[in-house]
Amino acid sequence: MQQVRVGRRVGRMIGRMMRHLQPGEPLPHLLADDGRDSIVDCALYVRGVRQPDGHTFREAYAAARRRRNGFVWLGLFEPTWAQFAAVAEEIGIDDHTAEKAVARERRPAVERRGDVTMLVIRTARYVEHAELTATSEVVDTGAVTLLIGPHFVVSVRHGGAGALADVRHQLEQRPAMLGHGPWAVAYAVCDRMIEVYHDVSTDVEQDVEQLEQTAFLRVGGCDVQQIYQLKRELVEFKRAVVPLQAPLRRMNDPAVVELPPQLRQYFADLLGRLTQVVDRVASDNELLDSILQARLAQVGLDQNNDMRKIASWAAIAALQTAIAGIYGMNFEHIPGLRWDYGFYLILLIMAVGSVVLYRLFRRSGWL
């Protein structure tokens, strides 16, 4: 807690320093502790067209506010509080909103604070693997937080999944869509995430089908640990997909978010596509549960069969042990003890008894 308070003080100091900079002075770079710049891209758009690069975020944001159809899109990757404080001070968001923006683990949500709307989306990607093991990583998740204002959109990404470079490039090829302002970026990001959800759900479904095919094989079948691992990965994916339904519903409510009229139908379509993914994830989860229950039942049946075999062989061995134990007693009067062929007769009885028991157990299905 003390470190967070210190970080806030440092952020506010940086913000006050920025306000005293001259218009020609650049905005301080957001450098990580290791010297890595957390800015992925920063661009000014006017009427859907990207303006020449070379602007700092402060300069681009100032230019966007001077133009009616201008906005700036700043992309950040895993910034710390101290790095994000300069941006937070410039766009005028409070410390609580800034802390949420830089948090790594967030549930999908949409919140509105004044003129700024914060949209949190969980990212996902399918991790290729040669075979499914008890420790295989199948789905990798992260998060993207979008801060959307009248003349800006700031995207903060955490995790390896959900890179937005392609989203920016494709959106720049559609100036008519980009001309709708910052909410066009929000739509494009949501559209890409849901598209990735579809791809991930398809790949996961193939893994589930492969498990289903091998679940009942006597040799080379899947282990229960493999089913548990895939179920854990599916649950992680489910936590990224299912909670996004509520924010998308709220975004279609004019009382919550003031979407441009031209984009409202686009966001409504996103909800329908997301519902399809949710249904597929639920179906895969139910199928995995069925496979798991069936596999556990099969394991129990195999163990029962093994116990029958063990009991059968133990009974056969018990007959030999009983006969040998009786004739191993130190009594003088035992039938056949002094007969020359008694030894061979006892061996014959033991062999015949073993064969009879074996055939009986075999007929009953125990062997």
SS3 40: strand
Read off the pLDDT of each residue in 182-188 and give the average, rounded to a whole number.
Answer: 93
Read off the pLDDT of each residue in 165-191 and give the average, rounded to a whole number.
Answer: 92
Read off the pLDDT of each residue in 222-250 and give the average, rounded to a whole number.
Answer: 89
Task: Quote the radius of gyration of the chain (alpha carbons, Å).
Answer: 35
If you search the block for the tokens 């984009």, which residue do you land on? 263
Portion of the chain with pLDDT greater than 90, in percent: 32
Task: Name the residue among 225, 344, 219, 213 with its Cα closest to residue 296.
Answer: 225
> Is pLDDT at 14 greater than 60 in this prediction?
no
What's the predicted TM-score (pTM) here?
0.75
Rounded-to-integer distance, Cα 33 and Cα 11, Å:
15
Q: pLDDT (tens digit, 9 = 90+) per residue, 328-364?
A: 777 777 777 777 777 788 888 888 888 888 888 888 8
Q: pLDDT (tens digit, 9 = 90+) per residue, 106-127?
A: 889 998 888 899 999 999 999 9
Identify the top-confidence range among 5-9, 173-177, 308-312: 173-177
Rounded-to-integer distance, Cα 43 and Cα 70, Å:
11
Rounded-to-integer distance, Cα 176 and Cα 48, Å:
6
